[in-house]
Homo-oligomer: A and B are copies of this chain.
Amino acid sequence: MSAHPPISFAARESKQAVEEGMLFAPKFDEHGLMPAMAVDADTGAPLMLAYMNEQSLKMTLELGQAVYWSRSRNQLWHKGATSGEFQEIIEIRTDCDQDALVLRVKQHGGGCCHTKRPTCFYRVVKAADGEALLEPAA
């Protein structure tokens, strides 16, 4: 994707290094995936939660656009590559144990969700009388 050398990740040396160190040593699960939550970089509004494998995370870092791993299609998913609804990476954060990501993005195109809404998180869960119902989010 570029003439740069491929990005390498660090080994997970110790709990201390993972939590306090400055080397990125991401932990993927037994399927080689980690969750990535995309949020609007300006407002912080949650947009979607998807998964990245090592290759898609490296592509995301190189390209500056979100590339996920589609668990349903079992293939790389460069979001917006065909629809134009790509996600420009403003910042990527990782958590204390480096097994989750927050992507602060600028969402391009019509919206994040395939239902044509700006966000995938458009419904609120309410429990009432032993049943859990959904309501449109404010």
Query: Shortest Cβ distance from A2 into chain B, in angstroms?
Result: 11
* Number of this chain's copies in the complex: 2
Q: Closest chain B residue to A47 by CB distance?
A: B95
CB neighbours of A135 from chain B (8 A): 22
**Range for the number of chain A residues in contact with chain B:** 35 or more
Complex interface bits, A1-25 against B, C-beta within 8 A gives 1, otherwise 0? 0001111111000000001111110
Q: Is A76 an interface residue, CB under 8 A from the partner?
A: no
Q: In this assembly, does A96 line the interface, its C-beta being within 8 Å of a C-beta of chain B?
A: yes
Contact with B along A83-100 (1 / 0, CB 8 A): 000000001111110001
Query: A137 and B93: CB pair below 8 A?
Result: yes
Told that A4-B130, A5-B129, A91-B137 touch, could you supply 4 new A-B pairs with CB distance under 8 A?
A19-B115, A39-B44, A61-B125, A91-B124
